[in-house]
A = this chain, B = another copy of it.
Amino acid sequence: MLGNFSYCNPTKLYFGEDSLKYLNAELPKYGKNIVLIYGGGSIKKNGIYDEVVKILKDNGKNVAEISGVMPNPTVDKLYEGVEIARNHQADFLLAVGGGSVCDYAKAVSVSVNCGEDPWEKYYVRFEEPSCETLPVGCVLTMVGTGSEMNAGAVITNPHTHQKIGHVFADEKIMPKFAVLNPKYTLTLPHYQMVSGIYDIFNHICEQYFSGEDDNVSDYLSEGLMRSVIHSSRIANRDPQNYEARSNLMWAATWALNTLVAKGKSTDWMVHMLGQAVGAYTDAAHGMTLAAVSLPYYRHILPFGVQKFKRFEVNVWDVDPAGKTDEQTAQEGLAAMEGWMKELGLVMNISQLGASAEMIGGIADSTLIMNGGYKTLNRDEIVEILKECL
């Protein structure tokens, strides 16, 4: 059943080896005061920072900077960035980095003119902005989150051990444009690359494994998953393969820009579990998802056997002949496990720094969603997390 929905995604994307030049087409649309936002400084080593700064200067912009945005951007970093953007009277926020930097820029965008504490308003009460927001543009250097074409922004509060994502309702929070140059992703360490790949794949799973759906979104999801599996195997063997890296970059965008969720319910419990692990360990996002996925999916499989069976046949090409539905469904997860190990993903949370003593706290930090095949209770979450150790 394809339910009622609206769809609008106005982000303009510039994709390819020469895409940075299109900043020259976009920047004149916005005011003079730009805040350039980036992470730990890798863009200074690989030359992207210099290229971007030159284009900003050529366009006569007045630039302030927020640097040091961490992989899990904290609420304190958010407060700091809001101050910088306010003092600069920012007209535009330009994020150069991966999903964390893009997410952070969107969080600053909705907070600059917000009279309240943005953590309380957006991440505790989940309200929408009631103030003017700032336009955001992205130059993407890491692949995985899809943040370049959606209205989501994940922020971590280390004081309360919470890592929470807010997907804003208004498409004006989406980046106005994003520059996607696959070449920028070629220098990423293997660990980050495969972490991003699993993030892509799991975004699709979160939207696919829900409902007794039979709709366009599920067919598109299957196509995207097949594409990610195919390209990830090439990129894993040969990280310098531009074709594979460019396909992964494009698939990542479509895995989480709202399309494959349209007209159906969605799950998102792997993200809730993984984000709680991340709040305790500060581990790479994709690896937290990888480490909790299989125990979670095996736990919910009995409540969604038909979809897991379809997953095996349509995504993993396993022949269902002569098997029970349950066997077929289990084989899909076994095929997925084989692929995850082939990529070298982290398969348990102990390796990420989580311990048995943390389980209770992680379970308390796990938001419980109700769109999937089974709404978990706290005991089930503890049980699943123990299996993830």
Contacts and interface: CB of A to CB of B under 8 A. Distances in A.
Interface of A: 1-19, 22, 171, 182, 214-216, 219-224, 226-227, 230, 243, 246-247, 250-251, 254, 259, 262-263
A4 B15 CA distance: 6
A9 B6 contact: no
Contacts of A247: 2, 214-216
Contacts of A222: 223, 226
Contact of A8 (B13, B17, B215, B219): B13
Contact of A224 (B15, B182, B220): B220
Contact of A7 (B2, B15, B215, B243): B15
Contacts of A214: 230, 243, 247
B17 A6 contact: no
For this chain, the copies found in one complex come to 2
A250 B9 contact: no
Contacts of A254: 216, 220, 259
Among A11, A17, A221, A223, chain B packs the most CB atoms within 10 A around the CB of A223
Contacts of A216: 224, 227, 247, 250-251, 254
A15 B5 contact: yes
Contacts of A226: 219, 222
A372 to B, nearest CB: 21
A22 B6 contact: yes
A262 B243 contact: no
A245 to B, nearest CB: 10
A214 B242 CA distance: 13
A13 B22 contact: no
Given A10-B8, A219-B223, A220-B220, A15 B262 contact: yes
Contacts of A246: 2, 215, 263
Nearest to A319: B319
Contact of A4 (B16, B243, B263): B16
Nearest to A222: B223
Contacts of A17: 4
Nearest to A227: B219
A259 B13 CA distance: 12
Given A15-B263, A215-B243, 4 more contacts: A4-B18, A5-B16, A6-B13, A220-B224
Given A15-B262, A223-B220, A262-B250, A243 B2 contact: yes
By CB atoms of chain B within 10 A, which of A3, A220, A247 has the most? A220
Contacts of A1: 243
Most buried by B among A2, A8, A12: A2
A219 B215 contact: no
Q: Which of A1, A4, A251, A254 has the most chain B CB within a 10 Å cutoff? A: A4
B7 A10 contact: no
Contacts of A19: 4
A7 B18 contact: no
A93 to B, nearest CB: 20
A147 to B, nearest CB: 16
